[in-house]
Chain A
Amino acid sequence: MAAKVKVASDWLAGCAGCHMSLLDMDERILKLLEVAELRSTPITDLKHPDAGGVDVGILEGCVNNSANEAVCRQMRSRCKVLIALGDCAVFGGVPTMRNACSSAAALQRAYVETESTVNGSIPQHAEIAVMQDARAIDQVVQVDVNIPGCPPSADAIFYVLTELAAGRKPVLKGKLLDWH
């Protein structure tokens, strides 16, 4: 029996919808678990990819602050095949709407100018991530497989993971390629 493919996932500036879609593969997850091992995900006990590395890394959401960027780079360095899952990870997605104004202007509006704020100030602390322009994963690190969609269908996610587990390069087309 071939060794199971080790998979780790994480989410950045995303809504978790892509992970919900992954769960939407319903009982097929049992078939998936016959060929793959979910080492860490944001929704299971272990949250970080093995220091020794995994085979497949999955990232949902785009990079829009220094914390995201760090998680993104760490996942890239710890996996052989990196999947960008969902429109935000693949294209940048909804968070990019903020790029039209600057990060500085967005922070000023949110923390100081909003009508219900009194004596607001932009929080700054060593432990708070620094905001950046929202960008797709492939503008930060090399991405190997893209699964666009908002969210991508469970069918597309199941297809990609089982193909990778079988050692093949997944090619999305037809109904599986749908980023509506």
Chain B
Amino acid sequence: MSDTVNITINGQVVHARIGQSVLQAAQSAGIDVPTLCDHPHLRATGSCRVCLVEIEKQRMLQPACTFPVTEGMVVRTETDKVVEARKFSLQMLFSERNHYCMFCASSGTPETSECELQKLAYRYGLDCFQYPPAWQKEWPVDASRKSFTMDHSRCILCRRCIRACDEIAANHTLGVFQRGAKTMICADDSVTFGQSTCVECGTCLQACPTGALMDKRSSFVGHASECRTVRVTCVGCAVACGLKAMVRGNTVLRLDGDWDEHNAGLLCVKGRFESLRRPENRITKPMIRRDGELVEVGWDEAITYTAGKFKEAQSTAGMISPRFTNETMIAMGAFLNEVLHSDQVTLLHGLVPPLDLEPRAQLKDLEDATCIVVVGEDVLQGQKVLGYLTKRAYDRQASVVVVDDHDTAMDDYATERLHLDAMSRHGPSPFAALKFTYHLSLDGISRLRKILETSERPVVMYGPALSTLVYAALRSLPPHVKFLPLATGSNACGAAQYGIEMREVIADALFVMAGDEPSNGFVLPPASFTVVQAVGHSELTKKADVVLPGRLWTEKRGTIVNIEGRERPVVELTEAPEGIGPDWMPLAMMAAVLGRPGLFATMAQVQNSL
């Protein structure tokens, strides 16, 4: 085959492809070449000089990460000359700044170290600083970002953070300033990170090989080797990114983006950092309001009381947060329909656009899309990872068309803007999100069609609350156009599968599953009896007649469905406090009191089969 070359590495014949670097060829053959500035998800830069190898006929040692393979090349990766040069590069790196391992959270033994510089020093037997470190200059620590710090003493200027910010997050905040020994990583035109355009997605943090960028929450609290790593799903929004959680005992220390999932390592500030915030006033026991005050009671009493109230109510309804799993959605629907004979189930919030637009795109389709259209949603606010992927497309000169009624954060990265008109919906609605429908003019539709017809690989991301005409126009686009529905609730797509969506409900008795919703601000319809199941006290529980405890997302087990239509696992990382069972338990217990114990058995079966 014309694009294969045969090269020899350490005496072993390796079949490489034209365009590969010596490093890539070596790695594909299982040959280990040490690296520092290299990263499997970033373009090679060749700044650290650790991957230097001997290549016959080359005058000097060459960096394997940037040197392209050619037919007949002979490479040696661990000769004395190479090892000498590597040790020298490492000693030079150590001498540049105050790389004292002894008070760094990334430091570890040769097995547990989380610092790639330290691991290389162990590997090459460095037992002292060959050149005294430059402790005369004080390297600053920038702790102005909320969740992670930058200690410039630990920086080796590998530029993995800059490349991560450019190539993965497409935010282009980081760069270098000054020169020579004074070179430093900086944000924008050298302001503190907290003041800069940094969005705290943490991609740089995940890419940093040393202890320069450090996560505040998990520093000095435990090494990766003392933790279990669990692959889990973020429930912050409907993209449902893959996470790798580091859990020590009963505490989640840190979340990293899973490179092997659909988000390919990318996360946003909500998923990586905000999702680990603990609620301030955790509800631990059922409570019944007596004489205006909430009083703690046992589960039996709370359930019997609540079930009784629901039985005698004229009309009943259930409201559920979109953050709950499919299994809990099923339980809610079953409880209302089968036990209370009510068809009133609604999401607390979260809209889903029509899901029948085909073919459905996957996140990887955004990677090589030639055109991305965003209709009626500010993705950089609501589904940030999609926003970052769209900015990446913009960086490689794809067309980005923003179609909206107001300014969005994506406008700066759009090649074209079309205007939506907001039309008031008739009839009152308790939900602000249902007040308007958004319409695109026929001119706009035809312009969109023209753009998409001539684009090779277009993806249209479309929001909820667009007019029927707009959805019809989208459906009639040519078959090479792929679609991503921009649901605005984490598991709103899963809920939609069970017919649960945002609608008005009117009832005497209301069962509200608020769960671990981070915000207040929900307006409940008036009812004579309201039960709120929640993780923490809030405005909602202040007015409730009965309050039941619930589980954090890190304590749940189940599945959710994301905007790709992909089923994603929610896995328990920590144990819930004693007495707080799975989210659907109160429903099953009430069902038993109201003569339907079968519901409990069915839910337990569904749970065990997961």
Contacts and interface: CB of A to CB of B under 8 A. Distances in A.
Interface of A: 84, 87, 90-94, 96-97, 99-100, 133, 135-136, 138-139, 143, 146-148, 150, 171-175, 177-180
A180 B107 contact: yes
B199 to A, nearest CB: 31
A10 to B, nearest CB: 19
Instruction: Tell me what chain B mostly uses at the interface: helix, strand, loop, or mixed.
Output: loop
13 contacts: A87-B100, A87-B102, A90-B129, A91-B129, A92-B133, A100-B135, A139-B132, A146-B127, A172-B125, A177-B110, A177-B122, A177-B127, A180-B107
Instruction: Tell me what chain A mostly uses at the interface: helix, strand, loop, or mixed.
Output: mixed
A180 B103 CA distance: 9
Contacts, number: 66
Contacts of B136: 99
B103 A148 contact: no
Contacts of B138: 100
Contact of A94 (B102, B113, B125): B102
Nearest to B107: A180
Q: Report the 8 A-B pairs with minimum CB-CB distance, sorted nearest first.
A: A146-B128, A146-B127, A99-B135, A100-B138, A180-B109, A87-B102, A178-B109, A90-B128
B125 A180 contact: no
Contacts of A143: 128
A84 B132 CA distance: 15
A136 B129 contact: yes
Given A87-B102, A97-B103, A99-B136, 18 more contacts: A92-B135, A93-B102, A94-B102, A94-B103, A96-B100, A100-B135, A100-B138, A133-B135, A136-B129, A138-B128, A138-B129, A139-B132, A173-B125, A177-B127, A178-B122, A179-B101, A179-B102, A180-B107
Interface in B72-112: 98, 100-103, 107-110, 112
Nearest to A179: B101
| B interface, size bucket | 20 to 34
Interface string B580-602: 00000000000000000000000
A84 B125 CA distance: 16
B127 A180 contact: no
> Which of A92, A148, A180 has the most B CB atoms < 10 Å from its CB?
A180
A173 B108 CA distance: 15
Given A100-B138, A146-B128, A91 B122 contact: no
B132 A135 contact: yes
A91 B109 contact: no
Interface in B114-129: 122, 125, 127-129
Contacts of B122: 177-178
Contacts of B100: 87, 91-93, 96
Contacts of B129: 90-91, 136, 138
B102 A178 contact: no
B125 A171 contact: yes
Given A96-B135, A174-B110, A150 B102 contact: yes
B132 A180 contact: no
Given A91-B100, A97-B103, A180 B108 contact: yes
B134 to A, nearest CB: 11
> Which of B101, B103, B128, B135 has the most A CB atoms < 10 Å from its CB?
B128
Nearest to A174: B110
A179 B126 CA distance: 11
A139 B109 CA distance: 26
> Which of A91, A93, A138 has the most B CB atoms < 10 Å from its CB?
A91
Contacts of A93: 100, 102
Nearest to A98: B135
A75 B602 CA distance: 79
A150 B102 CA distance: 7
Interface in B384-417: none
B101 A180 contact: yes
A178 B127 CA distance: 9
Nearest to A84: B128
Contacts of A100: 135, 138
Nearest to B108: A180
Contact of B127 (A92, A135, A148): A148
B127 A172 contact: yes
B102 A175 contact: no
Nearest to B137: A100
